[in-house]
Chain A
Amino acid sequence: MATTAAAPAFAPGKAAEYGTSGVWSWITTVDHKRIGALYLYTALFFFLFGGIEAGIIRWQLALPNQHVVSAEMYNQLFTMHGTTMIFLAVMPLSAAFFNFLIPLQIGARDVAFPRLNAFSYWVYVLGGLFMTIPIFFNAAPNGGWFGYAPLTTMQFSGGLNIDFWVMGLQILGISSLAAAFNFITTIINMRAPGMTLMRMPMFTWMAFVVQFLLVLAFPVITIALVFLLFDRFFGTNFYAIAAGADPLLWQHLFWVFGHPEVYILILPAFGLVSEILPTYSRKPLFGYNVMVYSGIMIGFLGFGVWAHHMFSVGMGAMADTIFALTTMLIGIPTGVKIFNWIATMWGGQIRFTTAMKFGIGLVGLFTIGGISGVMHSSPPADLQQTDTYFIVAHFHYVLFGGSIMGIFGGIYHYFPKITGRYLDEKLGSWHFWINFIGMNLTFFPMHYSGMLGMPRRVYTYDSGQGWETFNLMSSIGTVLIVIGTAIFVVNFLRSRKHGAIAPNDAWGAGTLEWSIPSPPPDYNFAEIPVVTSRYPLWDLKSPDKTAGIAHSAPDSLTITDAHAVPMHEETGGKTAAQLGIPMPFPTVKPAIAALAIIVMFSGLLFMHVGKFSVAMAVTLSGAVLFVGTLYAWLTSPLE
């Protein structure tokens, strides 16, 4: 199955002009690994930014009646903390892994549409800055991350704040949708021979589910935002209460998107932990099929539970009953995943690397978030919980204890593959333990403050309400999280240059990405491998252990010689040109197209302040730039 023979002769043309280092090479890159790295750096930057916002929030709430920041600034901070962490940190961190890992795990040389991939990144980073920069001018979005109407309408939020939020989310939606179609196409079409769906690594599987969630959920928020945008700029009345609008329209639309969004945030972390636990237990993932089905099930049910965010709005007993039951149902596949992870470790040889600690941390902490989730699946009980700190505790156990733990585990696990060097394990251990303690100290007391009556989203609270101890504990915990994260940043920056050199198979893992050099060459695989099992590398390295074990059901593509997988450890150093592998040209057009979108949207800001001609000029020039760039892009050859 060597592709080299069939490949057309590679002519070093444009690619050479751009080079592979320097700022320009990063702006023009279409290599999925470099785009993945860009996602990683950018999302980590936004993660720190959102963390600083959280730090100020906890500083303000450490003591009652404090005024570190004004009410207005606090409301911007909590809105942007949520928006930043969800849309600019956790989703793009997942996207970093999608970009870097999916082609490597399925044995492909790049994603299906490399330039579209670059476009997704540039739209994301520019859209992120579009939403983030206003906070320095006291004009950041201030309607909460779910921006309930009618507070977000012109009547109650006349400033630019909400405009940045509405347009920012629209812009980010473009990025997410473009990326989702790209990855779906990649996973369906570009798997190596023998890589059947049921042999795909679990991370790729969960990524696959997430892309469908994105494709199905983002159009809903897009519609909701278009309505709001039209209300704010063109005088429509979708949410205008004076015209008799029903504000529940927004809530339903938002949560039809918002609940699948929760699974968009958590499933990639589930995927990462499903790579980490088998590797460091030296055992295959327990119940692979069930893990796949439960992931699909979670994604599917995720669309049928949205109104559990709305038990207090008065939907009536029937709606409350239905959404309570569907919500409880979703607990089952989630519980199955937890038990399968534990069973994966059972009987293994567990190595406590930092990545493994984060992986185990996810299993332990997500369980707490899952249990509190079931607690508010019961609508009468939820009436005492919703919109209190109990909810804040719950979703931080899910998103910090789940997503962030999984993503950090993924970073420690894949850093050697990305950079060719290990992250420092001793610093990593400190990072994990301080973060673990800090996380629990911050969020566990919130269960108490919530059930003892503290509403969420309050910029201050009165003394003597029984909340002081818990809030102080939470704020002290936040200091620990800051320290832990600082250790990570130092480790990350130092290890990039000075970490121990990692071999191809840095951890003794079993999947394809570990069969190629670290960091991988730009073409990934010198020869496209033929895959015969779920853990081809383990088959290769210890055939005695795996012989006779069917890693997946036989099928027509099964190669009879189980150990025929060609591995690629010897190709390091050779360029794509030397091997005659055609690679896509670097191009700046996706970045320009992304910029054009920002320009188009920015025009509306001028409209808000009454400068119609400027607005038209800006929007039209953005549109011309966009169409022109798109034309140039689509008429220039990929490779």
Chain B
Amino acid sequence: MSQKRPRQLASGVCIAMVALVLVACGQQYPNTTFTNNTDFNSDIYALWNRLLLLGTIVFVFVEALLLFTVFKFRRREGAPAPRQTHGNASLEIAWTIIPALILAMIAVPTVKTIWKTQAPAPAGAIVVQVIGHQWWWEFRYPQYGVVTANELYLPVGRTASFELTTRDVLHSFWAPQLGGKRDLITNHTNLLWYTPRDSLAGSVFNGFCTEYCGSSHANMRLRVYTVTPAQFESWAAHQANPAALSPAPAAAVNAPVPAKPAVNTASLAGGLTPPAPPPPAPVGAVAATEGYVFPRDKLNAWNVPMTPFPTGSNEVKFDDSLLAQGDAARGHELVGNMANMSKAPCLTCHIIKGEYPGVLKNDDMAKAPNLTHFATRHTFAGGVYNTDARTLARWVKNAPHMKPGSLMPTLGLGEYNPDPLVRKIMATGLDDRQIADIVAYLMSLK
């Protein structure tokens, strides 16, 4: 076998690699960082283009020089020993200065962009508090009194000013199409702002946690809906309402809602739900579906989570035929019944605005997502599952099996609880019918 064989193989594979990359170029990239979707990302993209251009020039030059040298000066039979050169001061100075000049061409725009993008957010920005939790996102809009999870609504054309904190370990907030990431650091508040362009109205983007945060780091995702200002106002106004089945008026039971900004909502959202405070809804009534929700049918394939149900020893068995019999009122009863806490201690971690006050006095005490308008979100569990009855039933039954490390406890009767501190079959808990009722209730939280 000749020595040439591996080399021929190498060139063949290199060509195949280039071909593969070209094939890959034909695909869609829903999480690409190469966009002009926000002012922030335009700055980054411009910088990237310069880096890529200079990097490519250096790459081509160095590799070409290397290959040329290697082929030109390969040993020939009978050639005399080469001249013994030890260095060349002017050459060496040249290749010290030229890289320095190239780096200066990067350094100048870099420093400009640093100071530009880290300046204070412009006035009139919408404040979004991003709070990291293992392994889900909490989003609060203090100007609107809205608390939601995993799905972020941003009005186009208005700067979104993110205030990032975390309740536990470090996380990092990143929606690649909209801009760079910023870490969530415990006991710090970090800042990040960008303005989605007007052309993005009606778009949806995926986002991810990009700081390793434990077992389900991979399962900490988010969606960003960029909507028109009118749609946003409508959405926010509705989200501030108490829950659909809530028996009590919102104002009496919730932490005070911060003052609203001076935005003329009436003119924007004509005919839609007035901002606040809504009339108390009677028990059993299906309250407002009037608020804007990003339409599910406008989601792209890549916005819909495809996470399969766990199989094998982690499979969560549930009789889906029971779901049709689920009763929201009974579920409501189960979730809120304080006497039932040992079976379904939902309200020790979750807040459902207007429901059974007294357990969690304010949003900061809630360890788990606010469920007030749970059913208006298209995804749940850190954005890894679709909000539908089948998935939700399995989630309620045994969340740690559905999502590794999940802090939501195992609730299903007879289910194995994998919590390292428990590790046993649950002797108490909810049977499948009760779960179907709770699912029906949760799905009514429009």
Contacts and interface: CB of A to CB of B under 8 A. Distances in A.
Interface of A: 64-65, 67, 70-72, 75, 143-144, 148, 150-151, 156-159, 241, 244-248, 281-284, 286-290, 312-314, 316-317, 320-321, 324-325, 328-329, 331-332, 335-336, 338-340, 342-343, 345-352, 360, 363-364, 367-368, 371-372, 374-375, 377-384, 386-388, 426, 429-430, 432-434, 436-437, 440-441, 444-445, 448, 451-467, 469-470, 473, 542, 545-546, 549, 551
Contacts of A342: 62, 65-66, 69
Contacts of B177: 453
B9 to A, nearest CB: 6
A332 B103 contact: yes
Q: Which 10 A-B pairs have the closest CB atoms?
A: A383-B180, A453-B31, A458-B218, A71-B404, A433-B6, A453-B176, A466-B29, A314-B190, A387-B210, A287-B87
A441 to B, nearest CB: 6
A332 B96 CA distance: 6
A436 B87 CA distance: 30
Interface string B12-36: 0110010011011001111111100
B82 A283 contact: yes
Nearest to A319: B114
B358 interface: no
A347 B6 contact: no
> Which of A352, A436, A453, A546 neighbours the largest number of chain B CB atoms within 10 Å of its CB?
A453
Contacts of B69: 342, 345-346
Q: Which of B6, B47, B59, B172 has the most CB of A within 10 A?
A: B6
11 contacts: A67-B310, A283-B82, A289-B87, A367-B62, A375-B55, A380-B114, A384-B44, A444-B17, A452-B33, A453-B32, A549-B84
B103 A65 contact: no
Contact of B188 (A246, A320, A360, A469): A246
A380 B33 contact: no
B170 A148 contact: yes
A552 to B, nearest CB: 9
Interface in B85-112: 85-88, 91-92, 95-96, 99-100, 103, 106-107, 110-111
Contact of A314 (B30, B185, B186): B185
B107 A325 contact: yes
Nearest to A454: B31
Given A71-B215, A151-B170, A437-B14, A314 B31 contact: no
A464 B306 contact: yes
Contacts of B306: 64-65, 462-464
B214 A448 contact: no
A437 B13 contact: yes
Interface of B: 1, 3, 6-7, 9-10, 13-14, 17, 20-21, 23-24, 27-34, 41, 43-44, 47-48, 51-52, 55, 58-59, 62-63, 65-66, 69-70, 73-76, 79, 81-88, 91-92, 95-96, 99-100, 103, 106-107, 110-111, 113-115, 117-118, 134, 168-170, 172, 174, 176-177, 179-183, 185-188, 190-191, 206, 208-219, 221, 301-302, 305-308, 310-311, 384, 404-405, 420
Contacts of A340: 92
A559 B140 CA distance: 79
Contact of A457 (B100, B170, B186, B212): B212
A379 B114 contact: yes
Contacts of B208: 453, 455, 458
B303 to A, nearest CB: 9
A465 B21 CA distance: 16
A387 B84 contact: no
A465 B302 contact: yes
Given A286-B86, A378-B106, A159 B420 contact: yes
Given A71-B219, A150-B170, 20 more contacts: A65-B308, A71-B215, A150-B168, A247-B187, A283-B82, A283-B84, A312-B182, A313-B183, A335-B96, A345-B73, A360-B66, A364-B63, A368-B59, A375-B51, A377-B106, A379-B114, A433-B9, A437-B13, A453-B31, A453-B206
Nearest to A241: B186
A374 B183 contact: no
B182 A290 contact: no
Contacts of B218: 71, 455, 457-461
Residue among A158, A343, A546 facing the most chain B CB atoms (10 A cut-off): A343
A589 B212 CA distance: 42
A567 B367 CA distance: 75
A388 B13 contact: no
Contacts of B86: 284, 286-288, 549, 551
Nearest to B404: A71
A426 B404 contact: no
B180 A312 contact: yes
Contacts of A65: 306-308
B184 to A, nearest CB: 9
B110 to A, nearest CB: 4
A378 B51 contact: yes
Contact of A286 (B58, B87, B180, B216): B87
A545 B217 contact: no
Most B Cβ at <10 Å: residue of A244, A434, A456, A469: A469
A461 to B, nearest CB: 7
Given A320-B114, A465-B31, A455 B92 contact: no
Contacts of B308: 65
A329 B31 CA distance: 32
Contact of B301 (A148, A150, A464): A464
A378 B311 CA distance: 44
A157 to B, nearest CB: 8
Contacts of A430: 6
B29 to A, nearest CB: 4
Contact of A241 (B48, B87, B115, B187): B187
Nearest to A388: B210
A61 B75 CA distance: 44
A384 B27 contact: no
A495 B242 CA distance: 77
B63 A367 contact: yes
A134 to B, nearest CB: 15
A507 to B, nearest CB: 13
A71 B405 contact: yes
A370 B29 CA distance: 26
A349 B144 CA distance: 75
A384 B13 contact: no
Contacts of B211: 148, 312, 387
A457 B20 contact: no
Nearest to A70: B404
A292 to B, nearest CB: 12
A65 B218 CA distance: 11
A296 B169 CA distance: 38
Contacts of A284: 84-86
Contact of A464 (B30, B115, B174): B30
Contact of A452 (B31, B91, B307): B31
A139 to B, nearest CB: 11
A549 B87 CA distance: 12
A352 B74 contact: yes
B174 to A, nearest CB: 7
Contacts of A551: 86
Contacts of B24: 448, 469-470
A469 B27 contact: yes
B168 A371 contact: no
B17 A441 contact: yes
A437 B65 contact: no
Given A72-B215, A349-B81, A375-B51, A384 B180 contact: yes
Contact of B114 (A282, A288, A317, A462): A317
A25 to B, nearest CB: 39
B81 to A, nearest CB: 5
A248 B188 contact: yes
B66 A328 contact: no
Given A380-B43, A469-B23, A452 B10 contact: no
A372 B168 CA distance: 33
